[in-house]
Amino acid sequence: MTRPEASTRSGLPASPRPYATSFDAIAADYAAARPTYPPALYDTVEQLTGRPLAESDVLDVGAGTGLGTRPLHERGARVTAAEPGPGMAAQFRATLPTTPLVRADGDHLPFAPATFDLVTYAQAWHWTDPARSVPEAFRVLRPTGALALWWNTPDPDDPWATAQRQRLREGLPRYHGHDMSRRAPSVIRGLGLPLTVLTCEVPWQRTVPVEAHLANLASHSYLTVAGPATTAPLLAAERAAATAAFPDGQVTERYVVRLTLAARTPDAAGA
């Protein structure tokens, strides 16, 4: 999805392509295991943009299997999805067959200027080159439109999530832990564009069986590229840890959705 030279600016591994494309082989598992996003997130997007999603023209970039796209559609938005990966795009079409989908990435959007009211990235902006994807987003946005980026991140105040992150860091040297979810506001401000940047955190949780929790874990890029010799013992250890921590077999996953929203400053929007 991105070029190697973009990865340094984004804080990704030096060669991100295997990570970015690793999802194509597990698209169905990704769709089944990954958490979606809470209604409060979409409420917050509406509050920060000052407009309802209903009847808005929305471009969801890096749409993957549609986990972030479906709620936008359910809110009444006119959604177009962009997804570069063939496997993920095929799963998207199976899940949301009536939603328009184009094969494209955020650095090169094949749309006319001023086409959309909102450009969104759900768990995907870290695969782009911000110096390209942000100007591209605002090229296709209308003057009062906004760019919204969000990530599900483990709740930093949850002892279980904290302990699991530490185990992953020890077992997977390239584990990145969604660092871009914290860095996105400063990265956008650092581009020097006439933008106002807002941030918000939305806590939520879900409870799933141990095996579903492990399937979610296994769907992350740092595990999919590691190979079975690494992932099998790591997942076995996580199964044992989860079984000990949640003896009823139901894992409560606590998340914080980190949202960054950028819009043109009033003077720039009116120019």
pLDDT in tens, 114-127: 999 999 999 999 98
Which pLDDT score is estimated for 28?
Answer: 67
Asked whether residue 3 carries a pLDDT value surpassing 50, the answer given is: no
Q: Which residues have CB under 8 Å from 118's CB, separation 6+?
A: 45, 49, 53, 56, 57, 58, 59, 77, 141, 145, 146, 147, 148
Amino acid at 235: L
Q: How far from chain centre, in Å, is Cα 120?
A: 9
Q: What values do phi and psi take at 61, rounded to 5?
A: -100, 140
Round to whole Å and give the CA distance between 81 and 99: 7
pLDDT at 269: 63
Q: Using only the alpha carbons of the chain, give its radius of gyration.
A: 18
pLDDT recorded at residue 225: 72
> Could you tell me the maximum CA-CA distance found in the chain, to the nearest angstrom?
60
Q: Which two tokens stand for residue 18?
A: 């295997």
Q: For residue range 136-151, list pLDDT tens digits in order.
A: 999 999 999 999 999 9
Query: What integer pLDDT is reported at residue 26 of this predicted model?
Result: 56
C-beta separation of 38 from 256 below 8 A: no
Q: Quick one: pLDDT at residue 220?
A: 77
The answer to whether the CB of 105 falls within 8 A of the CB of 84 is yes
Q: Helices 130-140 & 180-189, crossing angle to 10 degrees?
A: 70
Give the C-alpha separation, 267 to 271, whole Å. 6
Distance, CA of 249 to CA of 242 (rounded, Å):
8
What does DSSP say about strands 195-209 and 116-122: parallel, antiparallel, or unpaired? Answer: unpaired
Asked if residue 102 has pLDDT above 70, the reply is: yes
Asked whether the predicted pLDDT for residue 4 surpasses 90, the reply is no
DSSP secondary structure of 7-74: HHHHT--SS-HHHHHGGGGGHHHHHHHS----HHHHHHHHHHHTS-STT-EEEEET-TTSTTHHHHHH
Going by C-beta distance under 8 Å and a sequence separation of 6 or more, which residues neighbour residue 30?
23, 64, 65, 88, 91, 219
Q: Once rounded to an integer, what is the mean pLDDT over residues 70-95? A: 94
For residue 16, the model assigns a pLDDT of: 44
User: How does the average pLDDT of the chain come out, rounded?
Assistant: 87
DSSP state of 126: G
Q: What pLDDT does 1 receive?
A: 32
Q: Residue 13 pLDDT more than 90? A: no
Q: What is the mean pLDDT of residues 153-182?
A: 85
The pLDDT confidence band at residue 53, using thresholds 50, 70 and 90, is very high
pLDDT recorded at residue 222:
72
Confidence of residue 27 (pLDDT cuts 50, 70, 90): low
Split at pLDDT 50, 70, 90, the class of 7 is: very low
Instruction: For 168-216, write each residue's pLDDT tens digit.
Output: 888 887 666 557 899 999 999 999 999 999 999 999 999 999 999 999 9
Percent of the chain residues topping a pLDDT of 90? 70
Is 118 exposed, middle or buried (CB count within 10 Å of its CB: 0-12, 13-18, 19+)? buried
Q: Measured between alpha carbons, how far is 102 from 111 in angstroms, rounded to an integer? A: 10
pTM, entire model: 0.87
